[in-house]
Amino acid sequence: MKTAVLLAAAALAAAAHAATPAQEKRFVDTYRKAYEGKDHKALVSLLYTKGADAKALAFYKMMLGAELGGKIAAIELAGLTDDDRKRIESMQGPDGRTAKLVLPPTRKLVVRTGTSDKSGSSSATSEVFVGEADGRLWILVPAAAR
């Protein structure tokens, strides 16, 4: 009984801190505008860097820059699956050591892009974990596990 009460309290606390639909829309719109506008600085501003591993942070910044300028076919904040939770629990940092995300993830940003030119077309899907701090949503970066 005591465990059930604690779980209910934890769920209520998490729900109280959940991002609003307006915050989620603002986050997705900011990402889309920065991505399609090739605004690397704006994309980097979405990273939660407090406590992040320096090599992981450099990698995330590089990856955000490498993907700029494509056309986003679809973008959404999706719920976490059981597979996502397993990946989160067994993360490794760039140095191969065990890592953890700097904040607990609440969602994942799923971005599907497509390009087309005279040589053909291609598409790609990327996912990053998203969490909430300071009243806003952030792309989470790994930190060394302790």
Q: Rounded distance, CA 130 to CA 48, Å?
A: 9
121 in Cβ contact with 115 (< 8 Å): yes
Structural domains counted in the chain:
1
| 58 domain residue, yes or no | yes
| 12 domain residue, yes or no | no
Nearest to 104 by CA among 43, 48, 44, 29: 48
| 34 domain residue, yes or no | yes
Contact partners, residue 89, CB within 8 Å, separation at least 6: none
Does the structure show a pLDDT above 50 at 2? no
| 100 domain residue, yes or no | yes
> Which pLDDT belongs to residue 118?
84
Please give the residue range of the domain that contains residue 21: 17-144
46 in Cβ contact with 132 (< 8 Å): no
Torsion sign (Cα): 71, 85, 87, 143: positive
CATH number of residue 65's parent domain: 3.10.450
Does the structure show a pLDDT above 80 at 116? no
> Which pLDDT belongs to residue 39?
94
Q: Rg of the Cα trace of the chain?
A: 17
> Which pLDDT belongs to residue 17?
54
pLDDT tens track for 58-100? 999 999 887 677 789 999 999 999 999 999 998 987 778 889 9
Confidence of residue 11 (pLDDT cuts 50, 70, 90): very low
| 112 domain residue, yes or no | yes
119 vs 60, more confident? 60
| 8 domain residue, yes or no | no
| 74 domain residue, yes or no | yes
pLDDT tens track for 19-35? 899 999 999 999 999 99
> Which pLDDT belongs to residue 34?
93
81 in Cβ contact with 57 (< 8 Å): no
| 118 domain residue, yes or no | yes
CA dist 66 → 57, 63, 82, 98 (Å): 14, 5, 29, 26
pLDDT tens track for 122-144? 788 899 999 999 999 999 999 98
Q: Rounded distance, CA 44 to CA 114, Å?
A: 22
Mean of pLDDT values over 2-24: 55
